[in-house]
């Protein structure tokens, strides 16, 4: 596969993804854990994004914020304000935010129907 930096390579084409209207769900367990994290104040929002990293592409980033400069869509789920950046909307449409218990400590898990594959460690997707 051509990396695009050699002399023989053609010009790099940057494809800007379409902004899609996002729908997402949050499992009961995840809502319970978010409730503990948010406390009484529900004026804050949960910003969902994707990060570089992991052995196979991206990992997810959940931030409790007051506001953001990013252009976002807001979804309200059972009182939780969830923000999804438009730039990532094509990646995050249809996700379920879940929480899983593990022997070595639990954590949030994004189930994403858009993910082509999951890496061996399960911490990222491509």
Q: How far is the CB of 66 from another protein (least distance, A)?
A: 9
CA dist., res. 55 & res. 62, Å (int):
19
Q: Is 12 in the site for another protein (CB under 8 A)?
A: no
Q: Which residues of 70-107 are buried (b: 16+ CB within 10 A; e: fewer)?
A: eebbebeeeebbbbbbbebbebbbebebbbeeeeeeee
Q: Which stretch binds another protein (CB under 8 A): 13-21, 29-37, 67-75, 79-87?
A: 29-37
CA dist., res. 118 & res. 8, Å (int):
33
**CB within 8 Å of 79: residues ≥ 6 apart:** 42
Q: Is 77 in the site for another protein (CB under 8 A)?
A: no
Q: Which stretch binds another protein (CB under 8 A): 4-12, 15-23, 81-89, 99-107?
A: 99-107
Q: Is 103 in the site for another protein (CB under 8 A)?
A: yes
Q: Which is nearer to another protein, 73 or 95 (CB)?
A: 95
Q: Is 122 in the site for another protein (CB under 8 A)?
A: yes
- Cβ-contact 50, 30 below 8 angstroms: no
- Give contact residues for another protein (rule: CB under 8 A): 33-34, 36-37, 51, 54, 59-65, 97, 99-110, 118-125
């Amino acid at each position: 596969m051509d990396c695009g930096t050699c002399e023989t390579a053609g010009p790099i084409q940057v494809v800007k993804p379409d902004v899609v209207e996002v729908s997402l769900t949050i499992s009961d367990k995840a809502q319970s854990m978010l409730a503990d994290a948010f406390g009484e104040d529900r004026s804050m929002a949960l910003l969902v994004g994707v990060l570089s990293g992991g052995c196979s592409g991206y990992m997810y980033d959940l931030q409790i914020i007051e506001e953001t400069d990013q252009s976002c869509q807001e979804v309200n789920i059972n009182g939780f304000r969830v923000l999804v950046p438009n730039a990532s909307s094509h990646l995050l449409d249809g996700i379920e935010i879940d929480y899983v218990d593990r022997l070595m400590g639990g954590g949030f898990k994004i189930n994403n129907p858009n993910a082509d594959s999951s890496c061996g460690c399960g911490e990222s997707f491509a």
